Structure 1
């Protein structure tokens, strides 16, 4: 049988297209670690701190787990849950590092960004981890703000190239910044948190509305989710906001919060109508949460906004950024759709030829002119000239006959 290179190329291209368009199944770090009981404590705190949901939502990631016996030092400090969240987020690398890659690091060292850095809570570069290949099978890990190597690679636990890698390290990474005491959500300055992370315009507007700000602050302890429009978005909206009455301004601001804690994973599983801080009755000032894959949208009757990031996620408080100002139907009317252009008038059907005979015998449509054909106006002129010259000839003949009769 002869080898057909064209057929082989087509087959390869088809296979590549199939692989690229086939959807991938999301990984579940909790279920993966459930197969390894020696990591049960680490797995438990991934769930309690809501880091598991964030890990599952990412496509390329490495989780550095620690055995239960090596978690005692961390737990003995009785740290608040949000501080434990910061420490464990330092163990989630935003890149794929399987066992093979760890032993083939270019120039022997690598600087890996972590989930701690991605949250925006890490001061400066404290959310990065140094990885060092010491050769002879030894690979070390240390936080950037740690003067010594904190932990060493033990083994690969589970790998899904090049998507998810779960590796075991010898102990918890040490970081003064990640371990620093953090205030509980109830002690946090809500507007200060938003101002520092790209939502200053919304935060300043909220600060100037005492009733709206009180509604937000009163709900933090019981659970609060805030949807904060980014600075450029809310800045463009300010002229319309200033045209609202004081009560309408309060309602619009309160429309950007819901009185319950909803993590990203909870929003994805709890699609449907959500009451807001502005809700004052049935079907008033609510919106619909809907997810499409990894994207989560908030749908009002006027706009559909997408969640673009997470500023804070520390139960019972979570603050998200959104790409549009949420507009309730109670305050705004939907814009009328632009009318479609009127259709062009239909062409009149061809007329029947007077000389035509038989069924369906219509006058032939005009045919394209040949290159040597003359314009129709010239043809008409020629016909007119012919008629004029013929008339002159008849008149001349008649005059000759009349003169002949008169002659003697």
Structure 2
């Protein structure tokens, strides 16, 4: 019986060790399964609102069908205004069908992405939700809460308690959101990198496949740690000695696939994945405060953030005073442990012979702390490729433990 308990305990532990699935929900992929929302989905992408939705952890998207979108498009609003109107349809809270019908006191007020943008005047960026007679639920912008602008139609998809997609009957009317607004613009990564002190890093990116990895991650959030031009210039001989995959991995090691401001980095000390992280190839680094400074540590080197080059969500770029060296690509130059000193008696009896010019030979050149681990012959850690499938080793552990349990 005790063996059964022990096996059950091991099985429970293995379940805990399973890699967790990501909470990221890509709204355009979800809505693509429903043709009736194709126009709404198209404008989420066209106005660059989709990446903002994907970065949120807890949201409710109030989708409208193609007929309702036609009524919005007939107003011939600017693309910036269309984005504001649609951002009014993204609530910064989780509401599925059950929660909508069980609102405390019959009403609730929800903030939206429009409100969080800072461009919504007064209370125009809030949506009021009201339980109506006959089991219906009404939704209206706060600045027009005396009328029911739209009603809840159905739940489309839900991932409690992170993302809920519901259908509502009409587009929210909002003079504030419909006012002319500048067109949304994409962040130009190359221009941002070249602005101050990161031109050499931008050039290195452009010469490898890492540039596409960086660009494809900007919309969902990216924090880049860019070695200054001087630091990268002195490192280039060693960089050029890497394989093509090694160069790509090294560059991708200098970015985290999340947006963090400098203040955010100060408050989120600890290990972090990078764009180079791929299954067993950890390529992780450590963010750590050092007084008012923020340092980025690897097993080999500690670099300091010396300036903020660019910071506008979803992209931040910080200049470092050194190149980051991952242990997957470079060997640490650890000092050898000194041999123990001889005992006093041995020291008295053993006298070292005098060195002569014939016995002298020049010392072997010391390997630099950042020399490639295995040179250009292609160490496995150098051969990083993007987009590898995750390795769910935990399932093999569970199967083995379960089989052992059956044998008891």
Please give the TM-score of this superposition, normalised by the length of structure 2.
0.51
Which residue of structure 2 aligns with residue 154 of structure 1? 153
Which residue of structure 1 aligns with residue 80 of structure 2? 82
Structure-2 separation of matches of 1:224 and 1:130: 37
* TM superposition shift of 1:82: 1.1
Partner SS, residue 120 of structure 2: coil
Matched, 1:267 2:199: no
Which residue of structure 2 aligns with residue 169 of structure 1? 168
**Paired residues of 1:152 and 1:170 also in contact (CA < 8 A):** yes
Partner SS, residue 136 of structure 1: helix
**Paired residues of 1:139 and 1:152 also in contact (CA < 8 A):** yes
Alignment of 1:128-207 (within 5 A): 128-147=126-145, 148-184=147-183
Structure-2 separation of matches of 1:274 and 1:11: 41
Going from structure 1 to structure 2, the CA distance change for 1:226 and 1:37 (only over 3 Å counts) comes to same
Structure-2 separation of matches of 1:226 and 1:80: 28
Alignment of 1:1-12 (within 5 A): 10=9
Structure-2 separation of matches of 1:129 and 1:309: 33
Matched, 1:51 2:49: yes
**Paired residues of 1:33 and 1:39 also in contact (CA < 8 A):** yes
Which residue of structure 2 aligns with residue 294 of structure 1? 258
* TM superposition shift of 1:303: 5.2
Which residue of structure 2 aligns with residue 314 of structure 1? none
Going from structure 1 to structure 2, the CA distance change for 1:107 and 1:291 (only over 3 Å counts) comes to farther
Matched, 1:326 2:319: yes
Partner SS, residue 53 of structure 2: helix
Q: Of the candidates 101, 117, 125, which is equivalent to residue 123 of structure 2?
A: 125
Structure-1 separation of matches of 2:134 and 2:126: 25
* TM superposition shift of 1:178: 1.2
Partner SS, residue 144 of structure 2: coil
Partner SS, residue 38 of structure 1: helix
* TM superposition shift of 1:131: 1.1
Structure-1 separation of matches of 2:218 and 2:307: 12
Structure-1 separation of matches of 2:26 and 2:158: 13
Alignment of 1:367-386 (within 5 A): none
Q: Of the candidates 35, 40, 45, which is equivalent to residue 38 of structure 2?
A: 40
Going from structure 1 to structure 2, the CA distance change for 1:225 and 1:271 (only over 3 Å counts) comes to closer
Going from structure 1 to structure 2, the CA distance change for 1:78 and 1:97 (only over 3 Å counts) comes to same
Structure-2 separation of matches of 1:114 and 1:74: 19
Which has more radius of gyration?
A: 1
Structure-2 separation of matches of 1:107 and 1:26: 32
* TM superposition shift of 1:91: 0.7
Which residue of structure 2 aligns with residue 104 of structure 1? 102
**Paired residues of 2:111 and 2:127 also in contact (CA < 8 A):** yes
* TM superposition shift of 1:43: 0.6
Going from structure 1 to structure 2, the CA distance change for 1:224 and 1:137 (only over 3 Å counts) comes to same
Please give the TM-score of this superposition, normalised by the length of structure 1.
0.51
* TM superposition shift of 1:272: 12
Structure-1 separation of matches of 2:310 and 2:167: 29
Structure 2, unmatched stretches of 5+, are 204-212, 237-249, 261-273, 276-295, 325-332, 347-408
* TM superposition shift of 1:291: 4.6
Deviations 1:335-376 (A, max 9, x none): 9xxx99998994655979xxxxxxxxxxxxxxxxxxxxxxxx
**C-alpha RMSD over aligned residues:** 5.5
Structure-2 separation of matches of 1:309 and 1:124: 30
**Paired residues of 1:29 and 1:56 also in contact (CA < 8 A):** yes
**Paired residues of 1:255 and 1:326 also in contact (CA < 8 A):** no
* TM superposition shift of 1:273: 10
Partner SS, residue 145 of structure 1: helix
| Number of equivalent positions | 272
**Paired residues of 1:49 and 1:81 also in contact (CA < 8 A):** yes
* TM superposition shift of 1:117: 2.0
Going from structure 1 to structure 2, the CA distance change for 1:146 and 1:76 (only over 3 Å counts) comes to same
**Paired residues of 1:226 and 1:256 also in contact (CA < 8 A):** no
Partner SS, residue 326 of structure 1: strand
Q: Which structure would you say has the larger RCO, counting Cα contacts within 8 Å and 6 or more residues apart? A: 2
Going from structure 1 to structure 2, the CA distance change for 1:225 and 1:341 (only over 3 Å counts) comes to closer
Structure 1, unmatched stretches of 5+, are 186-219, 229-249, 312-318, 353-408
